Amino acid sequence: MSEQLRTRIFDELESLVLIDPHTHINPHAAASTTLADIMGYHYYTELAHSAGLPREQIEEPGLDPKEKVGRLVTRLGELGNTIQVSWLIEMCREFFGFDDERITTDNWEALYDRAAEKMAAADWEEQVLSHSKLEGVFLTNDFDDPLEGFDTTRYIPCLRTDDLVFKLHEPSVRERLAKATGIEVGDAKTLREAIGKLFDHFVSKGAKACAISLPPHFWPEPSPLDSIHESMRATFEMMVCSPGKRREMYEEHYFEADDMTDEELAQEIDSHSNGFASKVIFWMIAEMCAEHNLPFDLMIGVNRGVYASGVYQGQDLYNRQTSLHQYAELFNAFPNVTFPISVLDHTANPELVSYAWIFPNVVTNGHWWYSNIPTFIETDTRSRLEAVPESKIIGYYSDMYKLEFALPKFRMYRRALAKVLAENFIIDRGWSEQRAIDLGKRVLRGNVESVFNVS
Amino acid sequence: MSEQLRTRIFDELESLVLIDPHTHINPHAAASTTLADIMGYHYYTELAHSAGLPREQIEEPGLDPKEKVGRLVTRLGELGNTIQVSWLIEMCREFFGFDDERITTDNWEALYDRAAEKMAAADWEEQVLSHSKLEGVFLTNDFDDPLEGFDTTRYIPCLRTDDLVFKLHEPSVRERLAKATGIEVGDAKTLREAIGKLFDHFVSKGAKACAISLPPHFWPEPSPLDSIHESMRATFEMMVCSPGKRREMYEEHYFEADDMTDEELAQEIDSHSNGFASKVIFWMIAEMCAEHNLPFDLMIGVNRGVYASGVYQGQDLYNRQTSLHQYAELFNAFPNVTFPISVLDHTANPELVSYAWIFPNVVTNGHWWYSNIPTFIETDTRSRLEAVPESKIIGYYSDMYKLEFALPKFRMYRRALAKVLAENFIIDRGWSEQRAIDLGKRVLRGNVESVFNVS
Amino acid sequence: MSEQLRTRIFDELESLVLIDPHTHINPHAAASTTLADIMGYHYYTELAHSAGLPREQIEEPGLDPKEKVGRLVTRLGELGNTIQVSWLIEMCREFFGFDDERITTDNWEALYDRAAEKMAAADWEEQVLSHSKLEGVFLTNDFDDPLEGFDTTRYIPCLRTDDLVFKLHEPSVRERLAKATGIEVGDAKTLREAIGKLFDHFVSKGAKACAISLPPHFWPEPSPLDSIHESMRATFEMMVCSPGKRREMYEEHYFEADDMTDEELAQEIDSHSNGFASKVIFWMIAEMCAEHNLPFDLMIGVNRGVYASGVYQGQDLYNRQTSLHQYAELFNAFPNVTFPISVLDHTANPELVSYAWIFPNVVTNGHWWYSNIPTFIETDTRSRLEAVPESKIIGYYSDMYKLEFALPKFRMYRRALAKVLAENFIIDRGWSEQRAIDLGKRVLRGNVESVFNVS
């Protein structure tokens, strides 16, 4: 009975047209052109690498897309158990009429060719969106993205601020900022002006969120720039000013720097600032979110480059020794900013449930990356639905790089959601099916509209 | 089949008359008088606040109880998913004949009036106890509670020691201690005498436990007062002595204190003692538990006042970076004290299972606060039942402030327990139904009797 | 339906002949001779002690085996809920024809005698292996084990290195090393030579793994011996050299040591080295694993002697504040060493899943000790099967001290595995039964062969 019930709920949830609140889609090339666009997704390259395929074979310069797929297919036999490969099979079935149980060295070429043929259709992007019941897709835009040449009501801009917070000392980032805003940043005041311009630009183009990913030990604090000792202000200015000015200040305050390039000098100062400048800039961005009425998506817990020899985008991991307690002061300081929170580590979910239960401005947001497997999704979903106000739960986002992924990823989520609704609401708590379906639709779609002010 | 089995087990567990081993009941006003007593419980005020109801509307001075309920009801539509609201509906059904699916702006007034009518009965308290199959209720008493004017075999005293351990430097707490014991505390010796008097008083009044809630980073250590440097002893004395003596010592050892009030001076000294005095007093209380043969309930992991703008009792959260390893020395030092342990963070449960598995004096105790939702209760219950001696598992306590809550909270637990017994003992392990029911009854009632020496 | 499906899958998994990749079997006395060998396993002594049986009664010098069992039986009534006692009942049923539900003071003697009779058979060891479908058993050998007098293709050697890494400063350990290798260790170079000899010996005797258990806060780092200050090298030499030389160096560099025994001096130096020498030796052993092509089993997270008054082997616990992040540099530094990883704390499993998903040389390895209960095994197994390449999952090892334990422990695992395969692969993901069974067999047996290079 439970299985039939799950199926009925799932079918109802499947009928819903979605807005995907977080992706990495390039709006100028949203859909795939070959199977290599799909299988080149880091989930497949990193798993194939983890199963023994050398990085050099995966990332060989100038590698033909078909050859790349052929190489990855040799390892699929060791990955068939993973939920990620189940997405691949589901995409191939839904979009390319594939009907074998597995992709093997025997059947992949026909699949590749068939996929290429389908993807060559002029309206492939429309076909994918329509078949996936997707009408809106949030992007993740670099701060200097002109946001032009695409329909921003379909592909909704989101200001990604990692570079500003963690890399502004790098000369290239500073140059991009100057170019995007026309402002030569040299201190907190000019930095605030420049960031203000970015926000104005994004909001004018229909941006509906600001976002950032954060390392496990990041601990936001109010900017102390007005009260602290002069030397801290100087350090901050050295972080954000031009390379020339930085060198001048460094040599004035510290030592000769003749033996360092601009980049090395920037790294040197960053390593001594101990994250101080990042905290100041982060806080400034939270202030901008308040001023511009934008939700601030926090994606908490990633360590970058942990596996330095890993494939592209397959090098990051986490350290579970993190706590939302680190963000309590932030949540208190910005009662009017909504913080949709994603946690990388599944064991951080109970804290997220508790913080969203108490803080009006904390919203649970999807199931991020390493937490994005059914084992964790089911538990996390159930606990959120039992203890967080239903208006503050954003069920899912795909995090996809190519449009074809929305279908299998959202289906995985809808299956988990249907299971939780069937077993823990209808059976355990005696809810009617309709009530459970309504709750499911709210977390899948309704809350995306209300939290991000889209419709 | 599994669902019918669960129902049969649940029905058997429902037939049991209970003793609730931890509540915040006021024995002089144990039951509610209006629905505002129920909906004013912090679970509802904090969730309504989290869903957007301003604190000012909830905590308006002089607010009429009916008006308060009316305001809270406006947010129930966003909280209907939560398990806490399911308790509310269950109470209204069981006690007030409510039979709608939800409480809405349309039906709440009739419910309010009907509830007030029922609660006005002279024997309402008896009705609730009898309908809830409750014959004993542990209290949480302030250390200076006279424990008079109520039946201490029904409402069983428990000495709450948070104020002694964490607030003794506050002049008002010291005054309460002096008034309750007739002893002017000035050093470790007089403090021990005073606390000894409190224990004598509580035990003479039938107290069956001592209890405390502890912050995540608390780390008990043996009192070093006899061996350490004189300056530590002086610090300790400044923490516990009278405001006048404290000021005198402070000015003798440190600086002029003319510009500080007694309260400010107390805070100043506390902030410099770095928790040292709290550790000494905590250890002293553990010694008293040993001397008086009282179990010491430890409720581990709460940070107070994290959300400073939250509603009353809706400001506390936790930091998951805590470990029972911090308590190993305590458990070793007091082999004859039983420590019923509650953890606030669900992810601390595996450690609790392991520590109760090894230490004879560690007992698992219920599902506290943020862990008190079915998702977490089921997993925690199952793991405890699989690895902790069955004599050392206290299934549940309600933590209630008003009697009406025992019924829905214990039912939630009994449903979870019935599910675990049915699925993981009868189906997975081939147990007979009777054996599973016996185990369930032991953790629900039998162990409360044996651990706390009540019956 | 789900239950019948689980049974079918379980039966298929039961038909498989196994190699157990981690045990503590003594190959010269692999099977039990009385029930005291079984019930003397620390799981039963520590649980009986936890339930109130005094250690003095369990560990009384010269205690008769039968009397010991009789004493332990008095506490079984309080442990019948535990999964560990379910193993005991299952062993007694399978091996000794026991068919009561529980072992009690009334029936234990007959059981004891019947067991002794069966165990007295000349081929008891063969009977147990055959009935348990076990054809290979990894050992855990002290580094100075001669590895002689047994069939190393059945009982496969594994070099346990805890003593080398954490106790080399103890004179007795150093003596054992000198005796086993003929090398008087005095510095890094001679230590490397000695350890190299141990590896040569073990590999020549068919060893298939190196193993170590590690405390929660251990953080491996590359040996800095070549670059660091002379005083660090001197400290290292004091850790590894002879007691006489150590005393000489200590008195030359520091103080008179007349008042300390050799052991005390060793402890003194170890306590000041802050784990430095352990890190150096650990790294050296990882290098040896690379040179000798041996997998390095890391068992992460145990604190030794936490409950100092506990029974033998029932004193260790853990601190959940640990992270695999501490091992990232190790995994990067040794890409050609396979690290089968066990974590003691269930909440560390999500990190393990993620690290095995990314690092080619990280393999998930069984369910260790406090994590070895069905609640945790099911979740951990499911998450691994959803996200780690199937070639990198070693399903289970028994960790047993006596052969009889393999049967109930592997059955517990097979039940959990069958449940996950039935519910989460066949039902949730639509897999065929055969495909699920094949996956189960791979993690139960196939990967043991491929990871450890046995067959």
Question: Could you give all domains of chain C from N- to C-terminal order, each with its CATH number?
Answer: 34-119 (1.10.2020.10), 131-452 (3.20.20.140)
* Coil, helix or strand at residue B137: strand
Optimal mutation site among A351, A417, A432, interface B, most CBs of chain B within 10 A: A351
Pairing between β-strand A209-214 and β-strand A296-300 as defined by DSSP bridges: parallel
Contact C406, C400 (CB under 8 A): yes
Q: What number of residues does chain B have?
A: 455
- Residues B266-278: pLDDT tens digits? 888 888 777 888 9
Q: Is the pLDDT of residue B69 over 70?
A: yes
d(CA A173, CA A183): 13
Q: What is the reported pLDDT for A2?
A: 84
d(CA C407, CA C404): 6
- Residues C195-236: pLDDT tens digits? 999 999 999 999 999 999 999 999 999 877 766 677 778 888
* Closest by Cα among C378, C379, C375, C329 to C355: C329
Chains touching chain C through at least 3 C-beta pairs below 8 angstroms are A, B
Is A390 within 8 Å of B78 when comparing Cβ atoms?
A: yes
Give the H or E element holding residue C214: strand C209-214
Lowest-confidence region among A312-316, B317-321, C275-279: C275-279
Residue A228 forms contact with B (CB below 8 Å): no
* Shortest CA gap C12–chain A (Å): 19
- Residues A366-406: pLDDT tens digits? 999 999 999 999 999 999 999 999 999 999 999 999 999 99
Encoded amino acid at C17, one letter = V
Write the DSSP assignment of C256-325 as a string of letters: --TTS-HHHHHHHHHHHHTTHHHHHHHHHHHHHHHHHT--EEEEE-EETTSSTTSPTT---EE-S---GG
* Residue in the block written with tokens 């399903």: C395
Q: Residue B50: which of A379, A389, A428 has the nearest Cβ? A: A389
Q: Is the pLDDT of residue B201 over 80?
A: yes
* Shortest CA gap A452–chain B (Å): 16
Q: What is the reported pLDDT for A391?
A: 98
Q: What is the reported pLDDT for C296?
A: 98
At residue A249, what are phi and psi to the nearest 5 degrees?
-65, -40
* Mean local confidence (pLDDT), B24-35: 98
How many other C-beta atoms can be found within 10 angstroms of the C-beta atom of residue B87?
A: 22
Q: Locate A315 and state its tokens.
A: 């090098």
* Mean local confidence (pLDDT), B172-201: 95
Contact B137, B131 (CB under 8 A): no
How many other C-beta atoms can be found within 10 angstroms of the C-beta atom of residue A413?
A: 23
Q: What is the reported pLDDT for C231?
A: 74
Q: Which residue has the higher pLDDT, A43 or A253?
A: A43
What counts of helices (H) and strands (E) characterise chain B?
A: 21, 11
* Closest by Cα among C311, C167, C145 to C239: C167
Q: For residue C301, is it left (φ>0), alpha (ψ between -120 and 50) or beta?
A: left
pLDDT band with cut points at 50, 70 and 90 for residue B206: very high
Q: What is the reported pLDDT for B398?
A: 98
Buried b (16+ CB within 10 A) or exposed e, A47-78: bbbbbebebebbeeeeeebbebbbbbbbbbbb
Residue B363 forms contact with C (CB below 8 Å): no
Write the DSSP assignment of A57-125 as a string of letters: HHS-TT--HHHHHHHHHTTGGGTTTSHHHHHHHHHHHHHH---SSS--TTTHHHHHHHHHHHHTSTTHH
- Residues A129-178: pLDDT tens digits? 999 999 999 999 999 999 999 999 999 999 999 999 999 989 899 999 99
- Residues C117-158: pLDDT tens digits? 999 999 999 999 999 999 999 999 999 999 999 999 999 999
* Mean local confidence (pLDDT), B362-385: 98
Q: Is the pTM of this model over 0.90?
A: yes
Q: What is the reported pLDDT for A27?
A: 98
What is chain C's alpha carbon radius of gyration, rounded to the nearest angstrom? 23
Beta-strand (E) ranges in B184-295? 209-214
Q: Is the pLDDT of residue B1 over 70?
A: no
Give chain A positions within 8 Å (CB) of B315.
Answer: 358
Is C373 within 8 Å of B358 when comparing Cβ atoms?
A: no
Q: Locate C246 and state its tokens.
A: 């150590």
Buried b (16+ CB within 10 A) or exposed e, C232-250: bbebbbbbbbbbeebbebb
How many other C-beta atoms can be found within 10 angstroms of the C-beta atom of residue C113?
A: 14
Is A387 within 8 Å of B319 when comparing Cβ atoms?
A: no
Is B320 within 8 Å of A348 when comparing Cβ atoms?
A: yes
Give chain B positions within 8 Å (CB) of C81.
Answer: 385-386, 389-390, 439
For the purposes of burial, counting CB atoms within 10 Å of the CB of A427, is it exposed (0-12), middle (13-18) or buried (19 or more)?
middle
Buried b (16+ CB within 10 A) or exposed e, B201-223: bbbebebbbbbbbbbbebebeeb
Q: What is the DSSP letter of C361?
A: T
Is A50 within 8 Å of C350 when comparing Cβ atoms?
A: no
d(CA B307, CA B254): 35
Contact C317, B328 (CB under 8 A): yes
Q: What is the reported pLDDT for A227?
A: 64
* Mean local confidence (pLDDT), B445-449: 98
Q: Locate B129 and state its tokens.
A: 């106890």
Give chain A positions within 8 Å (CB) of B371.
Answer: 350
Buried b (16+ CB within 10 A) or exposed e, B340-372: bbbbbbbbbbbbbbbbbbbbbbbbbbbbbbbbb
Give the H or E element holding residue C155: strand C155-156
Q: What is the reported pLDDT for C227?
A: 65
Residue A321 forms contact with B (CB below 8 Å): yes
Q: Is the pLDDT of residue A1 over 70?
A: no
Q: What is the reported pLDDT for B440?
A: 98
Q: What is the reported pLDDT for A271?
A: 81
Residues in chain C with pLDDT values less than 50: none
Lowest-confidence region among A226-235, A308-317, B130-139, B442-451: A226-235
Contact B433, B7 (CB under 8 A): no
- Residues B207-266: pLDDT tens digits? 999 999 999 999 999 877 766 667 778 888 888 888 888 899 888 888 888 889 988 888
d(CA C154, CA C1): 40
The sign of the CA dihedral C339, C344, C348, C350 is: positive
| Distance linking the first and last C-alpha atoms of chain A | 36
Q: CB contacts < 8 Å between B and C, how many? A: 107
- Please give the torsion angle defined by the CA atoms of residues A443, A446, A449 and A452, in that order, rounded to the nearest 10 degrees: -30
Is C389 within 8 Å of A309 when comparing Cβ atoms?
A: no
* Shortest CA gap A119–chain C (Å): 27
d(CA C65, CA B112): 69
* Shortest CA gap A323–chain B (Å): 6
Optimal mutation site among C354, C383, C438, interface A, most CBs of chain A within 10 A: C354
Residue B325 forms contact with C (CB below 8 Å): yes
The sign of the CA dihedral B215, B220, B225, B229 is: negative
C77 vs B120, B393, C101, C313, CA distance in Å? 48, 14, 11, 22
* Closest by Cα among B35, B41, B44, B37 to B116: B35
Q: Locate C190 and state its tokens.
A: 């001679």
Is C51 within 8 Å of B357 when comparing Cβ atoms?
A: no
For the purposes of burial, counting CB atoms within 10 Å of the CB of A234, is it exposed (0-12), middle (13-18) or buried (19 or more)?
middle
Q: Locate B354 and state its tokens.
A: 């392991």
At residue C439, what are phi and psi to the nearest 5 degrees?
-65, -45
pLDDT more than 90, % of chain B: 86
Q: What is the largest CA-CA distance in chain B?
A: 77
Contact C434, C13 (CB under 8 A): no
Q: Is the pLDDT of residue A16 over 70?
A: yes
Half-sphere exposure of A162 (CA within 13 A, CB side): 15
Half-sphere exposure of C363 (CA within 13 A, CB side): 28
- Residues A63-84: pLDDT tens digits? 999 999 999 999 999 999 999 9
Q: Residue A81: which of C1, C360, C439 has the nearest Cβ? A: C439
Q: CB contacts < 8 Å between A and C, how many? A: 108
Closest-CA residue in chain B for A354? B370
Contact A276, A236 (CB under 8 A): yes
For the purposes of burial, counting CB atoms within 10 Å of the CB of A403, is it exposed (0-12), middle (13-18) or buried (19 or more)?
buried
Q: What is the reported pLDDT for B258?
A: 87
* Mean local confidence (pLDDT), A418-423: 98
Optimal mutation site among C5, C337, C338, C351, interface A, most CBs of chain A within 10 A: C351
Closest-CA residue in chain A for C391? A78
